Structure 1
Amino acid sequence: MLDSIMESKLRIRKTQSLRRGRVSVPNARYFVTICVEDRKPVLCSEKNWKAIRDQLESQQREGDLKLHCAVLMPDHLHLVFRLGERLKLGHVIGKFKAKLDIEVLWQKDFYDHMLQADDSEESYGLYLFMNPYRASLVELDAEWEFWKRWREAPFDFEEFLREGEVIPTQWISESEKVKAGIIKRDAW
């Protein structure tokens, strides 16, 4: 009885399940989510965003990854990138967490999804871009300052963005379809 009470009071994370099925394929495209411990909303500051971008770009220069886009949320970071040939996926993310110079405690593991050949990077870019709008952190007529695209060519959706114009509300439902597809594919 005491054991069941203690177990219900203690939050037990099973991060090993995040590693199940994880593969590191050099040059594969990945969608990754890295969360703050206990999902504390402590990330969104200009100082943290600069440090995160600087660390990611440092790892890109070192050949760990080729960045496509990222969005910083209050309690997590989403990335889309191509894995380099030097390190495994877990080592790339571990290096990022270890070398990042901000006062944040990260969850021990991370969520990853390897994009398949027929997965549209455009859809993942839209998903990341729309994340703060879906979470109602910013109005559709405002710009979220913690979003970055590194790839040379803009995403198609960026062509429709005009300064001062409202982001179409249907983009929220379109980005939700990406999330549903990721969850469905990874639930097997």
Structure 2
Amino acid sequence: MSKPLQGYQHLRKGRVSIDHQIYLITTVTHQRSPVFAEYSRACAACRMFSSVLTQDHHTLLCWVLMPDHVHWLLQLGEDGDISKVVGKLKATSAKAVRRLGFTGQVWAVGFHDHALRNDEDLLAVARYVVANPLRAGLVRRISEYPYWDAVWINN
């Protein structure tokens, strides 16, 4: 009898990367440590989120960085591998944080992904992502929270 999958292996069970599919991805910091409660670390990570996928053909539709986790609403491009894309986002943001002198592990191993179905309302999911700081009680209005972005916002 085979042993049931546990931990990170359980998260990967059945994971499939589909071109142009939109995924809601959540990953946490190592031991849920509030790495991004510090302004300079959060800003460094945010800069990486905004720039890391520009040369790949993947699109971050929206994201929010919380003190101990991040939510990304990501659309894969051609020949995308969700694990590689998430790995790139995590690696580049971790390097940016380490350049500021942080010596610990930034991200936990693994991530949770949910492929949006055709019947799911994309904008409702995006609003859910962006409203995370409100639900956590960090701010009273999303305009008060600096660590998020969405393609629907004019810069």
Q: Which residue of 2 aligns with 1:52?
A: 45
Structure-2 change in CA distance of 1:99 and 1:145 (3 Å): closer
Deviating more after overlay: 133-142 vs 71-80? 133-142
User: Identity of counterpart residues, as a percentage?
Assistant: 33
Whether the 8 Å CA contact 1:44–1:72 is kept in 2: the answer is no
User: Which of 44, 68, 71 is matched with 1:75 structurally?
Assistant: 68
TM-score by length of 1: 0.67
Relative to structure 1, the CA distance from residue 118 to residue 107 in structure 2 (aligned partners, 3 Å threshold; closer, same or farther) is same
What does residue 88 of structure 1 align with?
A: 81
Contact 1:67 1:151 in 2 (8 A): no
Distance verdict in 2 for CA 1:141–1:107, change over 3 Å:
closer
Higher relative contact order at CA 8 Å, sep ≥6: structure 1 or structure 2?
2
CA gap 1:86/1:47 in 2 versus in 1, 3 angstroms: farther
Other-structure match for 1:28: 21
| 1:135 corresponds to 2:130 | no
Q: CA deviation at 1:71?
A: 0.6
1:178 equivalent in structure 2: none
Q: Distance in 2 between matches of 1:16 and 1:102?
A: 27
5+ long unaligned stretches in structure 1: 1-12, 154-188
- Kindly report structure 1 stretches of 4+ aligned residues shifted beyond 6 Å: none
Decide which structure has greater helix share.
1
Q: Deviations over 1:1-60 (max 9, x none)?
A: xxxxxxxxxxxx711111112110011001001110110112134323332233223332
Aligned to 1:105: 106
Structure 2 unaligned spans of 5+: 1-5, 99-104
**Matched residue of 2:106: which SS?**
coil
TM-score by length of 2: 0.80
Per-residue CA deviation, residues 63-101 of structure 1 (Å, 9 max, x unaligned), is 252111111111000011211224300001111222222
Contact preservation (8 Å) 2:134, 2:142: no
- Judged with a 3 Å threshold, the aligned counterparts in structure 2 of structure 1 residues 141 and 36 are, in CA distance, closer, same or farther, namely closer
Aligned residues: 141
Query: Does structure 1 retain, via aligned residues, the 8 Å contact 2:46–2:65?
Result: no
Indicate the structure (1 or 2) with the bigger Cα radius of gyration.
1
Contact 1:132 1:138 in 2 (8 A): yes
